[in-house]
Amino acid sequence: MDNTITSPKNGLKIKRFTSPDHPKVNFAQAEKGIKAWLTTIDHKKIGLMYLGSIAFFFFIGGLLALTLRLELWTPAKTFLDADAYNQVFTLHGAIMIFLVLVPSVPAALGNFFLPIMVGAKDVAFPRLNLLSFYIYLAGAFFSLYSIVTGAVDTGWTFYTPYSAQSSTSVVSMTFGVFVLGFSSILTGLNFIVTIHKLRVPGLTWGKLPLFLWAIYATSVIQILATPVLAITLLLLIMERTLQIGIFDPTLGGDPVLYQHFFWFYSHPAVYIMILPGFGVISEIIGIFSKRRVFGYWFIALSSIAIALMGFLVWGHHMFVSGQSTLSSIVFSMITFLVGIPTGIKIFNWVATMYKGSISLRTPMWYALMFLFLFTIGGFTGIMLGTLSVDVHLHDTYYVVAHFHYVMMGGMLVAFLGGIHLWWPKMTGRMYNEKLANLAAFLIFVGFNMTFFTQFILGSKGMPRRYYNYIDQFQSLHQFSTVGSWVLGVGFSIILYYLLHSLGKKGVIAPKNPWGARSLEWITQTPPVMENFEYTPVVIHGPYDFHKPIAEFEYGIEGSDSHGHEHHKDQHVNIHSVNV
């Protein structure tokens, strides 16, 4: 194969660019010092700053979880009093959802990899990206400041009337969440424009890695849903400060209306949280089965379907709230339908593995864990969506188990899989795989110990958010608590070997340790500041493992200033050319 080709369709002069695994000056070396990082507009550094922050908040949220599980060791008070217990679970939920899960994959991995995957030098609005990060920190500050001023004991859902009347620092925390919403919106905005406008020549929508379809769908939800949360929290703050009487029944308002507005965001929010995870799983399963992901368009479009249909089911959180029977029936019906696109994905991922060349590396272990744990979570969601069943199970540990299976067993596991997939590319280092696999195993065991038990507790009638419980539940609670310790050990091991890989004794990683094909694996490790030293041109799809790597290294010198709008939506086909 020649090193230079001219595509007749659009006159691009394409040639092959080979580069050594490691650049002379990677992005972290290009600008040095703390100030450089804090004022950077480089999406890769911003992504890593998010990753560090998210890991930190996850650690805090995790400590809170261990605390509340420890309190539940005995049926009555163990070491916390009831008010403190309420504050602990509220803070645990709010931190995990708003500071960890909502940003997680998009802000950390999406920021780092989206521009590289589309071949661009950065996101569409780099300075807005940095602003997003600082808004995130500001929101985190206000939320956590509430701990100092009296904490919050309403649950992360801030239901009225209690949230309008509680003497705790509801305003500080809800204002913090309000601010965090803007970070989410601006990130989503940036990603949508980047995917539309900054794709390189040849990168048609049908050649996008499925991770990007997932990020795109997530961004759409962020744009449409988050503003409604913003106005809801603003109204709640007004309710507390001015007593406007919209949501508080003692002032003539309707508390169920609060729930409608809150869940209009918060249900799509769970899809904001899980869709990027789905995207990561698509990448991992494709790469580690060495096969094209089965049903590419089904997976791509099912992400969009989930994003849109996810807006029509929020009332399934309110079946016993007092809403009309009619709306309960409608919401239940649509809830059943929204499970279908997700089910399609699960089948497609399994089909991808069939007759594939499976490579059981750490990311793949996480993907397999995901398939098992998320499926349980998803099924139990449908069970909760059944009206009559929900009357029994609502507000019990069954719900707690369900959402931990989808959010932690699903989303967090996928996040860990993504970190382990892309760690070599981001840092240029490889982690100790034996320890990584051990940690994954401990997390799997600890997770099931902690949360499968809670399905049983819930169906036996243990209510959620309860500080004390009847004696008969004690052994199950204790088993669950021991599980949480196993989880804690697993996460500690991950922290250890990841940090160790960055140190002097860390192993240097090659630029494409997994033999993948999407653009981030073609560029150097860690990437240079501008991601590529040329403008890539995309000829094949991201899962064309059977095509030689050489055919993915084509590009044009400099930047494509000639009719970019047309090139990126046209296929570039080297076999139609005489070389």
Partner 1 sequence: MAHSSNSTLAHHFVDSEQQFDASKMGMWIFLVTEILFFGGLFATYIIYRAWYPDLYIMASSQLDTSMGAINTGILILSSLTMALSIWAAQHNDRKKTTIFLAVTIICAISFMIIKYFEYTHKFHLGIFPGANYTFTGIDHVKAPQFFSIYFMMTGLHGIHVIIGIGLISWLIFKNQKQAFNSSYYTPIEIIGLYWHVVDIIWIFLFPLLYLID
Partner 2 sequence: MNGHHQLSLKVLLGTALALGVLTILTVSVAKIHIPSPFNIVVAIAIAVVKAYLVVMYFMNLKNDKKFNLLSFGFSILFLLILVGLTMLDTMFRVEVIPGF
β-strand partners of 13 = 6
Of 90 and 219, which has the nearer Cβ to partner 1?
Answer: 219
Which does residue 62 bind out of partner 2, partner 1, none, counting CB within 5 to 8 angstroms by kind? none
Residues 6+ apart with CB under 8 A from 43: 111, 112, 114, 115, 122, 123, 126, 129
Answer yes or no: are the C-beta atoms of 544 and 574 closer than 8 Å: no
- Cβ-based nearer residue to partner 2, 330 or 574: 330
Give every CB contact of residue 288 below 8 A, 6+ residues apart in sequence.
Answer: 358, 359, 360, 361, 363, 364, 367, 514
Count of residues binding partner 2 (CB under 8 A)? 25
Residue 500 binds: one of partner 1, partner 2, none (C-beta under 5 to 8 A by kind)? none
Cβ-count burial 246-256 (b if 16+ within 10 Å, e if not): bbbeeeebebb
Nearest to 44 by CA among 13, 68, 23: 23
Q: Which of 9, 15, 22, 121 binds partner 1 (CB under 8 A)?
A: 121
Residue 25 interacting with partner 1 (CB under 8 A): no
Q: How far apart are CA 424 and CA 177, in angstroms?
A: 33
Among 66, 257, 383, 486, the residue binding partner 1 under the rule CB under 8 A is 257
Q: In the window 235-274, what residues touch partner 2 (CB under 8 A)?
A: 249, 252-254, 256-257, 260-261, 264
Q: Which is nearer to partner 2, 224 or 275 (CB)?
A: 224
Q: Both tokens of residue 63?
A: 């400590």
Which residues, numbered 547-566, are part of the site for partner 1 (CB under 8 A)?
Answer: 558-561, 564-565
Give yes or no for residue 161 binding partner 1 (CB under 8 A): no
Q: And the tokens for 474?
A: 């004690």
User: 204 or 474, CB closer to partner 1?
Assistant: 204
Tell me the closest approach of the beta carbon of residue 322 to partner 2, in angstroms.
4
507-508 and 554-556 beta bridge pairing: unpaired
Q: How far apart (Å, rounded) are the C-alpha atoms in residues 503 and 506?
A: 5
Stretch that binds partner 2, among 95-103, 145-153, 316-324, 505-513 (CB under 8 A): 316-324
- Check residue 179 for interaction with partner 1 (CB under 8 A): no
CB of 219 to partner 2, least distance (A): 12
- Stretch binding partner 1 (CB under 8 A), from 148-156, 245-253, 321-329, 569-577: 245-253
Considering the complex, state which of residue 46 and residue 225 has its C-beta at the smaller distance from partner 2: 225
Pairing of strands 13-16, 4-6: antiparallel
Q: Which of 94, 105, 114, 224 is close enough to bind partner 2 by CB under 8 A? A: 224
Cα 167 from chain centroid?
Answer: 33
Amino acid 32 reads K
Residue from 28, 100, 198, 442 touching partner 1 (CB under 8 A): that is: 198
Nearest CA-CA partner of 91 in 3, 7, 168: 168
Nearer to partner 2, 156 or 258 (CB): 258
Tell me whether residue 171 or residue 228 sits nearer to partner 2 (CB atom): 228
Secondary element (H or E) of residue 4: strand 4-6
Footprint (CB under 8 A) of partner 2, residues 126-155: none
Q: What is the secondary structure of 398-434 as a DSSP string?
A: HHHHHHHHHIIIIIIHHHHHHHHHHHHHHHSEE--HH
Instruction: Choose which of 13, 77, 197, 434 interacts with partner 1 (CB under 8 A).
Output: 197
Alpha helices in 198-254 (DSSP H): 210-242
**Under the criterion CB under 8 A, does residue 195 sit at the interface with partner 1?**
no
CA distances from 223 to 266, 306, 341 (A): 13, 15, 21
The one of partner 1, partner 2, none whose footprint includes residue 189, by CB under 5 to 8 A per kind, is: partner 1
Comparing CB distances to partner 1, the nearer of 515 and 563 is 563
What is the Cα–Cα distance from 109 to 112, expressed in whole angstroms?
5
Distance CA 174, CA 152 (A): 10
Which residue in 195, 210, 119, 3 sits closest to 537, CA to CA?
119
Binding site for partner 2 (CB under 8 A): 196, 224, 228, 249, 252-254, 256-257, 260-261, 264, 311-312, 314-315, 318, 322-327, 330-331
Q: Which residues bind partner 1 (CB under 8 A)?
A: 115, 120-126, 128, 185, 188-190, 192-193, 196-198, 223-228, 230-232, 234-235, 238, 242-246, 251-253, 257, 261, 530, 558-561, 564-565
